Each structure stands twice: as C-alpha cells, then as structure tokens.
A and B are shown apart, each in its own frame.
Chain A
Amino acid sequence: QVQLQESGPGLVKPSETLSLTCAVSGYSISSGYYWGWIRQPPGKGLEWIGSIYRGGSTNYNPSLKSRVTISVDTSKNQFSLKLSSVTAADTAVYYCARQSYSSTWPHFDYWGQGTLVTVSS
C-alpha cells in the first residue's frame, strides 16, 4: 500500500529555512498524481502549503508563496519542502500527502504521520 514518511529537523531557528522531505513507498511518483504539503499549528486547523506534480509543476498557497519551494526527486521517489525566513508562527505539524491527478481537487487520500517542527531559538 502507499506509505509516506516525513523527515527533517524538529527544531528550526527563527529566520532560518525549514527543510522537510517526504519519502514515498508503494507507489512511484513518476506514475502521476500531485503530491502536497499541509500543516497544522498546535491546536489549530489545517493549512495547505502547496503541491507538486511529477514533472515539477507546482502550486503554492498565495499567503506562503514568497517563502515556499517544493521540489521532487523521482529517482529517490521523494519530494521536499523548503520554507524560508521562518517565525514562531510556522511552528506546526507538517504533513505530506498524495493528492489527485488534478491540482484543483483537494483530494488527499494517503498521508504521512506528520512531523512537528518547532521554530525557536
């Protein structure tokens, strides 16, 4: 079955860049689908960060677009998130998920377990 696993530092200093990777198993990213990042601040709701297709086409949340870069490495079957100039407001559980064949369908059917990233000095 499709499995996703987030990895990366759990603590990032303010003004630095948050970097996470999502390793996918049980499905080849090259086969299709969009792949997305969603975050959830402690005790709050879900926020979509952005999504990427196998060829590298991306869509980003307009409110985060200036700070976000999502990339894909099909040879490693993984995709990554970089969020620059982080502040305490970026503290959240970060999830990666498989989306759908359409970037305009927020159909996320497989999710990683999530990883808590804390922004603090």
Chain B
Amino acid sequence: QSVLTQPPSASGTPGQRVTISCSGSSSNIGRNFVYWYQQFSGTAPKLLIDRNNQRPSGVPDRFSGSKSGTSASLAISGLRSEDEADYYCAAWDDSLSGPSVVFGGGTKLTVL
C-alpha cells in the first residue's frame, strides 16, 4: 500500500484532456514538492513534472502539474496515443517513522 494514493487506471480518447490525481498527507505533499514520472512498458521512468508544476526541457506543454493542500494532479491535454503509459507521483515524506522518498502506486493511462 503506497503512501501516495493514485487511481490505478485512467482513460481518454485522442484530443481529450485527462487528469490523474495523487493524494497524500501533511507530511508529504502538504509540505513538499510533488514530482511526476512517465514510464513506458519495459523502460525506465522519465521525469515529467518537476517541483509541482515545472516541465523539464523537452516535455511538451500538453503536460501540466498542480498542487493544492495535500493533493496534486497531472493534466494531459490534447491526448495522444503515444501518451499511453504508467504515471507515478512522488514526494518527500517527513514522517516521524523515518523520512523517505515516497511514490504513488501508479496510474495506467489508456488512450481509447
């Protein structure tokens, strides 16, 4: 069971706008940056969103991130077939049980 909660799946048709949520708590998302990763089957994850809403060089502006309170979201506009992948959120967790990088369980995005 992941510290950050994501829906296991999401879907959309080409051209649509899709959002993926990531829910946490005051010890992680509530006080730290959120990052998003994209992972295609059989390959290493790729950094998609940096520090809540910053796009690394080369990431299309169709991808955007936001954060509010203890939740964050990844939005993909103008959905394309090549966006079909797994998406993970991540944050630092200042838990008293031991600080740690934590990931969400991942969301499998299907382009219908």
Q: Does A106 contact B (CB under 8 A)?
A: yes
Are A108 and B106 interface neighbours, CB within 8 A?
no
Are A104 and B32 interface neighbours, CB within 8 A?
yes
Partner of B88, one of A45, A65, A107, A109: A45
* Interchain nearest-CB distance for A101 vs B (Å): 13
- Contacting A at CB under 8 A, from B23-50, are 32-33, 35, 37, 43-47, 50
Are A105 and B37 interface neighbours, CB within 8 A?
no
Closest to B104 in A: A45
Q: Does B98 contact A (CB under 8 A)?
A: yes
A82-121 interface mask toward B, CB cutoff 8 Å, 1 = contact, 0 = none?
Answer: 0000000000000101000000111111011110000000
Q: Which of A46, A104, A111, A114 has the most CB of B within 10 A?
A: A46
* Interchain nearest-CB distance for B2 vs A (Å): 6
Q: Does A30 contact B (CB under 8 A)?
A: no
The CA of A63 and the CA of B103, in the complex, are separated in Å by 14
Q: Does B101 contact A (CB under 8 A)?
A: yes
Q: In the complex, what residues of B have CB within 8 A of residue A45's CB?
A: 2, 88, 103-106
Q: Does A25 contact B (CB under 8 A)?
A: no
Are A46 and B37 interface neighbours, CB within 8 A?
yes
The CA of A46 and the CA of B33, in the complex, are separated in Å by 18
Are B44 and A113 interface neighbours, CB within 8 A?
yes
- Interface on A for B, CB 8 Å cutoff? 36, 38, 45-48, 51, 59, 61-63, 65, 95, 97, 104-109, 111-114
Task: Kindly list 4 other residue pairs between chains A and B, CB separation below 8 angstroms, not including A48-B103, A61-B100, A109-B56.
Answer: A48-B90, A104-B99, A105-B92, A107-B51
Pull 19 A–B residue pairs with CB atoms less than 8 Å apart, ordered by A: A45-B88, A46-B88, A48-B100, A59-B99, A59-B100, A62-B97, A62-B98, A62-B100, A63-B100, A95-B45, A97-B44, A105-B51, A106-B90, A106-B91, A107-B35, A109-B56, A111-B45, A111-B46, A113-B43
